[in-house]
């Protein structure tokens, strides 16, 4: 077989270009200290790298959620400790005025002090963290009023993105004992008389059986109704309408807790609602505002028996607040455990990513020296190709 000069040239240049590419690749890896700089470097490895980075991003979000929870629970605990302190002051006042040595004048002075305590308690119960109320449940309205308010039914609200553009009005008299949000969700669209829908009395957590027809007032439960008036567009599947109802009392929030995901598949209820902390909703609970108002009234009217009865109520209120403070500690402990687990997981992910992505600098330095020698040899051989002539041969 005849080996031509062109064949020699092509083989030499092919080898030179190959060595140059390998040399450049080594330089890039040494500069970035990464074994994988693009998908073509290691298709299997890049898939693993992307998976690990996705997990790391999730861990970062979990840690941010934990930080949010920690800030919330720390502020909640601080406010509850303040509530405990002012209840202790109220108890001391009641105890001092329940004795025979107290007079109607001293009790009236004490009544003014209790009034200040109630105002301070109201301020604490309406505390905020950022732009959210600590004790409003899942709502973001001022949770406590300075006076007892009657039961009320809020205006009907259409969810953003609803197709239906007709009028929806709420009505009725709320007969429930707790503040709730009622939701109506359309499951089959069409004319009002042919619409299928379901109703939730707990803000959309659970749903009742499917019903048909929005052309007549719809009973949402507990005395609340929604009335629909046709518009230019009929209701469509997925349209949502809701109405908020508040029971008689001081509390305007609800009994729900705020929740965030703190680890894969684990959500934590990190808030305490004002309903469970300050009101008498639930077994063995007392309405703290009512207890203090009763104490104030008894002091103003010089009612010794009423003052003594208020002492028992304050003791129950102190136990209720102490229980809430202990719940804050329990939540804080769960957050500490979750944070520790995430730190360990993040450490393992970082090590795994390093094993897959980071380059072995000692190995690269050895390969670099080898490729440098090979590249110099290729340059030398390529340079000698131009010296091939009959005159050189004759020499």
Residue 82 counted as domain residue: yes
For residues 94 and 111, give the distance between their C-alpha atoms in angstroms, rounded to a whole number.
Answer: 9
Both 87 and 232 in one domain: the answer is: no
Residue 15 counted as domain residue: no
Both 145 and 178 in one domain: the answer is: no
Residue 97 counted as domain residue: yes
Residue where one domain finishes, among candidates 199, 216, 247: 247
Say how far residue 254 (Cα) sits from the centre of its chain: 18
In DSSP terms, which residues pair with 168 in a beta bridge? 228
pLDDT value at position 44? Answer: 67
For residues 279 and 25, give the distance between their C-alpha atoms in angstroms, rounded to a whole number.
Answer: 70
Please give the mean pLDDT across all residues of the chain: 85
What predicted TM-score, i.e. pTM, was given to this entire model? 0.74
Give the 3-state secondary structure of residue 132: strand
Q: Output the domain CATH number for residue 311.
A: 1.20.1330.10
pLDDT higher than threshold 80 for residue 340 = yes
Both 136 and 284 in one domain: the answer is: yes
For residues 219 and 202, give the distance between their C-alpha atoms in angstroms, rounded to a whole number.
Answer: 15
Q: What is the span of the domain harbouring residue 310?
A: 59-150+251-345
CA angle 282, 256, 66 (to 5 degrees): 125
pLDDT higher than threshold 90 for residue 80 = yes
Both 175 and 324 in one domain: the answer is: no
Both 243 and 170 in one domain: the answer is: yes
Tokens of 293: 């108002």
More confidently predicted of 31 and 270: 270
Both 239 and 255 in one domain: the answer is: no
Task: Identify the helix (H) or strand (E) that includes residue 266.
Answer: strand 266-269
Tokens of 6: 């062109």
- What are φ and ψ of residue 152, in 5° steps? -145, 155
Give the 3-state secondary structure of residue 253: coil
Both 157 and 146 in one domain: the answer is: no
Both 84 and 205 in one domain: the answer is: no
Both 157 and 239 in one domain: the answer is: yes
Task: Identify the helix (H) or strand (E) that includes residue 105.
Answer: helix 104-125
**153 phi-psi bin (left φ>0, alpha ψ -120 to 50, beta other):** beta
Residue 365 counted as domain residue: no
Residue where one domain finishes, among candidates 247, 268, 293: 247
Residue 39 counted as domain residue: no
Total domains, the chain: 2
- What are φ and ψ of residue 269, in 5° steps? -80, 105
- Is residue 159 very low, low, confident or very high in pLDDT (cuts 50, 70, 90)? very high
pLDDT higher than threshold 90 for residue 39 = no
pLDDT value at position 390? Answer: 56
- 215-263 pLDDT, tens digit per residue, is 999 999 999 999 999 999 999 999 999 999 998 888 988 888 999 999 8
Both 175 and 299 in one domain: the answer is: no
Residue 385 counted as domain residue: no
CA angle 143, 148, 153 (to 5 degrees): 70
Both 144 and 171 in one domain: the answer is: no
**385 phi-psi bin (left φ>0, alpha ψ -120 to 50, beta other):** alpha
- Is residue 150 very low, low, confident or very high in pLDDT (cuts 50, 70, 90)? confident
Residue where one domain finishes, among candidates 212, 247, 282: 247
Residue 356 counted as domain residue: no
Both 264 and 323 in one domain: the answer is: yes
Residue 360 counted as domain residue: no
Say how far residue 100 (Cα) sits from the centre of its chain: 54
């Amino acid at each position: 077989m005849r080996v031509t000069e062109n064949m020699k040239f092509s083989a030499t240049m092919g080898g030179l270009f190959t060595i140059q590419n390998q040399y450049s690749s080594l330089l890039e890896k040494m500069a970035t200290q990464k074994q994988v700089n693009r998908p073509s470097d290691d298709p299997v490895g890049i898939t693993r790298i992307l998976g690990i980075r996705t997990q790391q991003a999730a861990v970062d979000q979990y840690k941010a959620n934990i930080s949010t929870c920690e800030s919330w629970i720390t502020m909640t605990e601080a406010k509850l400790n303040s509530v405990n302190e002012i209840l202790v002051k109220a108890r001391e006042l009641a105890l001092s005025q329940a004795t025979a040595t107290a007079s109607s004048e001293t009790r009236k002075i004490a009544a003014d002090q209790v009034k200040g305590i109630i105002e301070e308690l109201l301020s604490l119960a309406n505390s905020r963290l950022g732009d959210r109320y600590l004790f409003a449940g899942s709502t973001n309205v001022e949770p406590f009023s300075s006076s007892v308010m009657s039961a009320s039914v809020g205006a009907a609200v259409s969810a953003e993105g609803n197709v239906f553009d007709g009028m929806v009005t709420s009505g009725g008299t709320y007969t429930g004992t707790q503040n709730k949000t009622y939701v109506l969700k359309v499951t089959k669209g069409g004319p009002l008389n042919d619409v299928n829908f379901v109703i939730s009395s707990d803000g959309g957590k659970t749903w009742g059986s499917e019903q048909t027809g929005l052309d007549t007032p719809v009973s949402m439960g507990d005395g609340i109704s929604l009335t629909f008036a046709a518009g230019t567009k009929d209701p469509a599947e997925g349209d949502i309408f809701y109405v908020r109802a508040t029971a008689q009392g001081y509390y305007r929030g609800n009994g729900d807790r705020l929740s965030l995901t703190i680890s894969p598949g684990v959500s934590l209820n990190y808030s305490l609602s004002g309903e469970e902390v300050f009101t008498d909703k639930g077994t063995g609970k007392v309405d703290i505002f009512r207890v203090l108002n009763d104490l104030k009234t008894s002091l103003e009217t010089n009612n010794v028996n009423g003052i003594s009865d208020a002492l028992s109520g304050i003791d129950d209120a102190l136990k209720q607040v102490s229980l809430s403070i202990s719940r804050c500690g329990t939540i804080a402990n769960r957050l500490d455990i979750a944070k520790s687990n995430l730190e360990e997981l993040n450490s393992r992910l970082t090590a795994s990513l390093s094993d897959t992505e980071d380059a072995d600098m000692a190995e690269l330095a050895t390969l670099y020296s080898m490729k440098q020698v090979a590249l110099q040899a290729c340059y030398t051989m390529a340079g000698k190709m131009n010296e091939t002539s009959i005159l050189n041969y004759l020499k």
